[in-house]
Structure 1
Amino acid sequence: MIRVVGIGLNGKDSLTTEVKSIVINTSILIGSQRHLKYFSDYSGTTIALENFIKDIKVLKKLSKDNKSIVVLVSGDPLFFGLGRLLLQEINKKDLEFYPNLTSIQLAFSYIKVPWHDAQLISIHGRNLDELILSFKKGKQKIAILTDNYNSPQIIASIYLSLSLLKSYDVWVCENLGRVDQKINCFSPQKLADLKQYEFSSLNIVIFLENNNIALNTQEYAQLPVLGIRDEHFLTFKDRPGLMTKREVRIAILGELSLQPKQVIWDIGAGTGSVSIEISRLSNTSKVYAIEKTAVGINIITKNCKRFRTYNVVPFALTNLQELYELPSPDRIFIGGSGGKLIEILEICQQKLKENGIITISLATVENLGMSINWLKNNSWNYTLLSIQLSRSLAIANLTRLYPINPVFLLRANRR
């Protein structure tokens, strides 16, 4: 029988009397040099773990001799541990597990946050794809087991390079349970800037969603005139990626050819990101952020407060006919149509002022074709811009490119 025993951070003292007895009375004791030191008074045969592939072969051979074997590991053997590998190579009937507290459990306990709903990821000797996907999905809690190569600073830099929509606080927990334990909270930017600081190799990194709404004075002062970074906007919790991206917003504002003192409609405003960019460029204009969902109106209202854009009017649209109640616009941006694109264009044609401009953002070829046909049939001039962009992603000293979904921009005006 092979018994796999998890050791806690205080070593031998973390084991119950029963488990200590199992370890002391076994025929063969296997573990890392650090774990074996906890049992320096053990009188049987000891084997130091060095190479998992070779060690498992040795273990399988020893198990056939019907000897009592104990394998020492850290924490819970089945939590990103050796136990998973053993189950792949050895019949589960020949294995018994004795788990201990994991570093993840201790980390969440110290920062006083429930962890049952956290995304748990190990990048210890693994690639970063799962971590990047979790960031992109906007998980509220992400706990990361690091290694010597993927330091907390590198993880923070990866998050920042993705230009995501979630705002996080980052906890770094070092040497948990030891006298030199350290637990600190950083912003991602501050953590990434600690390039010369060396964290302990025994660390856990936890990303926790930050729900602060208002930008502080320093953050507000550092905002660009045009092209606010995506991660500054509040967005939909269940669809964190659903927002017009920064590079596309810049192109949209260019296609609208904005002027001072205009009335602008932003139809299908979503998070209000386009409306807010327009507002910051022209505080003498009035922008109607038109959205049909209550959740969207709530987010637009919060983002307006966040960016202090008081000339944006969130407008809850329950029926398309309500568009006739709004002041006639000089410019119209259509970012979403809810499947009623043609009906919206018909109303826009009636309400748009002379020399007005419509810009439409389209994600599908079908909607593009439908829009072009309508513009031709109604004698409108139009130009088409196809946007296909990729953003760089820094991974250690390497750079990868991640694509942004392609977008078509139609700019139209009457002949």
Structure 2
Amino acid sequence: MHLLSIVGIGADGPRGLSADTQALIAQSPVIAGSAEQLRWWPGRSGRIEMGADLAAFFAQLEQALTEAPVVLVATGDPLYFGIGRLVLERFGREQVRFMPHLSSVQLACSRAKLPWQEAAVVSAHGRSLEKLGEALRPLPELVAVLTDPVNTPARIARFVLDLAPVTPYRLWVCARLGAEDEQVECLGCEQACERDFGEPNVVLLERAPARTPASLPAVGIFDDHFVTFSDKPGLMTKYEVRVLAIAYLQLERGQVCWDIGSGTGSVAIEMARLIGGGSVYAIEKTEAGCLLIEANCARLGVCNVRVRRARAPEVLAELPAPDRIFLGGGGRQLVAILEACTAGLRPGGILVASFAGLEQLVSAQAYLLKQGWSVQYTHLQIARSASLASGSRLVPLNPVFLLRSTRPL
């Protein structure tokens, strides 16, 4: 049996191929491919056209290979969501060789000027969008989507809007890459829902950077105004929880506050903007977190947050006595942290803590009640609206417990 050469080709046809590859095709007794690919060689004898019946097509290839070498022309990189896998399964590695063209994802990222070494790639070609939902769950910086006439850019944009991710995405549509009528557009998902685009196309979903607000409210800064962790962009005290926590703290001007486990600094910044000439000490154990807090303070115009890179509770004894404390979690050191908080908080001061787990809430409540402090807590189960094709639905956030405790006078 003779050799089967699988040649990748772009929308620019043979002119995008090397001289050696063009010569290989010209000298091959048989050329195979889809009608879309074979149109570049009109009138060529020895053609095998690929239709919907792949089994019949492969049978024709197998018969032709008994007599002469064959060139199979395919789109882009045949081994990248292409026909290459099926060819290997049918003919084996020893019988084939690959001469790839640039893949559509590689071309799209090049046109959009987006590094793609860490991009998630999802094929929606002839498939559901379930895999896209899974890929978007960790909020990656870039997702490339291979489309088809059903899963169009408009449908993908609507799907993303329905998911309502914590961090918004903007959408690049790269149509007919390499062709003379190539089109590359960047637009919001809302705009893309109402548009038609040239085919074939590739969609790039790029995580949008944090918005720089023209103005800020007195309290309740939206989540997307904060710079967040690149690998965990949803890891922050969400807007609705933050607003209620600030209300529970009953802040006053000139106070000293602690934010323990500050993360992105969202709570610390909200506190700092309400206490005027007071100070907020943001305690964060990671260098990345400290840099984020400083960046968010700078972009939101807050100058009275003092960032301390340290693990609680060790650093707490070194800080000025607080009037208010916000505690985000506490982990295994929860009781030790609460001991430092109860020792440091001024009489009449308020502690508010946020917990994801019931066990942490129970431990904190038991400890504070034992100290003679008043304790109240609230269970927050919040859902945000998201658009559907007709109407809307609710997308739940993770449930949270907010505990509020006051030190006796």
TM over 0.5: yes
Quote the offset at 1:73 in angstroms.
Answer: 1.6
C-alpha distance in structure 1 between counterparts of 2:153 and 2:220, whole Å: 28
**What is the SS of the residue equivalent to 1:358?**
strand
> C-alpha offsets along residues 365-407 of structure 1, whole Å, 9 cap, x if unaligned?
3323321221232222222322334445557669776543332
Measured after TM superposition, the shift of residue 194 of structure 1 is 4.6
Which residue does the alignment assign to 1:201? 199
Q: 1:233 to 1:88 in 2, by over 3 A?
A: farther
Note the C-alpha offset of 1:42. 0.8
- Work out whether 1:290 is the aligned partner of 2:288: no
Q: 2:401 aligns with which of 395, 398, 408?
A: 408
The residue that corresponds to 1:220 in the other structure is 214
1:160-179 alignment runs, 5 A limit: 164=165, 170-179=171-180
Q: Deviations over 1:55-88 (max 9, x none)?
A: 2344136515735544322111111112223334
Counterpart of 1:364? 357
Aligned to 1:307: 300
| Preserved contact between residue 158 and residue 394 of structure 1 (Cα < 8 Å) | no
Q: Say if 1:10 and 1:177, in contact at 8 Å, map to a contact too.
A: yes
- The whole-number CA distance in structure 1 between the counterparts of 2:296 and 2:54 is 56
Partner of 1:72: 73
Looking at structure 2, the residues matched to 177 and 251 of structure 1 have their Cα atoms a distance apart, in angstroms, of: 53
2:337 maps to amino acid: I
1:46 corresponds to which residue? 48
The reply to whether residue 377 of structure 1 matches residue 370 of structure 2 is yes
Kindly provide the CA deviation profile for residues 229-266 of structure 1, in whole angstroms up to 9, marking residues without a partner as x. Answer: 33332122333332122232233234334445543321
Structure 1 distance, partners of 2:47, 2:56, is 17
Mind listing any 5+ residue stretches in structure 1 that lack a counterpart? Answer: none
Distance 1:168 1:220 in 2: 20
Change (3 A) 1:160 1:279: farther
CA contact (8 A) 2:283 2:311 kept: no
1:113 Cα deviation after fit: 4.6
TM-score scaled to structure 2, two decimals?
A: 0.83
Q: Contact (CA 8 Å) 1:75, 1:101: kept in 2 or not?
A: yes
Asked if structure 2 preserves the Cα contact closer than 8 Å seen for 1:12 and 1:39, the reply is: no
1:242 to 200, 219, 235: 235
Cα distance change, pair 153–226 in 1 and its aligned pair in 2 (3 A):
farther
Distance 1:352 1:2 in 2: 77
State the one-letter code of the partner of 1:108: C
Change (3 A) 1:126 1:37: same
Q: Using the TM superposition, give the Cα deviation of residue 303 of structure 1 relative to its aligned residue in structure 2, in angstroms.
A: 0.7
Cα distance in 2, alignment partners of residues 137 and 319 from structure 1: 28
Determine the structure 2 residue equivalent to 1:87.
88
Q: Which amino acid aligns with 2:58?
A: L
Q: How much does 1:340 deviate? A: 1.9
Q: CA–CA distance in 2 between the matches of 1:319 and 1:104?
A: 45
1:333, distance to aligned residue in structure 2 (A) = 1.2
SS in 1 for 2:58: helix
Give the drift of 1:309: 2.6
Judged with a 3 Å threshold, the aligned counterparts in structure 2 of structure 1 residues 333 and 162 are, in CA distance, closer, same or farther, namely: farther
Query: Deviation of residue 411 (structure 1)?
Result: 1.8
Q: Which amino acid aligns with 1:175?
A: R
Cα separation, 2, equivalents of 1:181 and 1:380: 68
Residue 273 of structure 1 corresponds to which residue in structure 2?
266
Distance 2:250 2:89 in 1: 63
Q: Distance in 2 between matches of 1:398 and 1:87?
A: 47
Q: Number of aligned pairs?
A: 404
Is residue 333 from structure 1 mapped to residue 335 from structure 2 by the alignment?
Answer: no
For the residue of structure 1 that corresponds to 2:6, the secondary structure is: strand
Tell me if the contact between 1:226 and 1:277 (Cα under 8 Å) persists in the aligned partners: yes
- In the other structure, the counterpart of 1:143 is 144
Which residue number corresponds to residue 60 of structure 1?
Answer: 59
Which TM-score applies when normalising by structure 1? 0.82
CA–CA separation in structure 1 for the residues paired with 2:178 and 2:252: 61
Distance 1:379 1:408 in 2: 21
Write the distance in 1 (CA, Å) between the matches of 2:121 and 2:316: 47
| Correspondence list, 1:87-126, <5 A | 87-126=88-127
Q: Does structure 2 retain, via aligned residues, the 8 Å contact 1:264–1:332?
A: yes
Would the alpha carbon gap of residues 158 and 261 (structure 1) be closer, same or farther in structure 2, given more than 3 Å must change?
A: farther
TM-fit CA distance, 1:308: 1.8
The alpha-carbon deviation at position 291 of structure 1 amounts to 2.0
> Do 2:154 and 2:196's aligned partners in 1 also have CA atoms closer than 8 Å?
no
The CA deviation at 1:151 is 4.0
The corresponding residue for 2:13 is 11
Q: Which residue of the partner structure matches residue 353 of structure 1?
A: 346
CA distance, structure 2, for counterparts of residue 398 and residue 11 of structure 1: 44
One-letter code aligned to 2:55: I
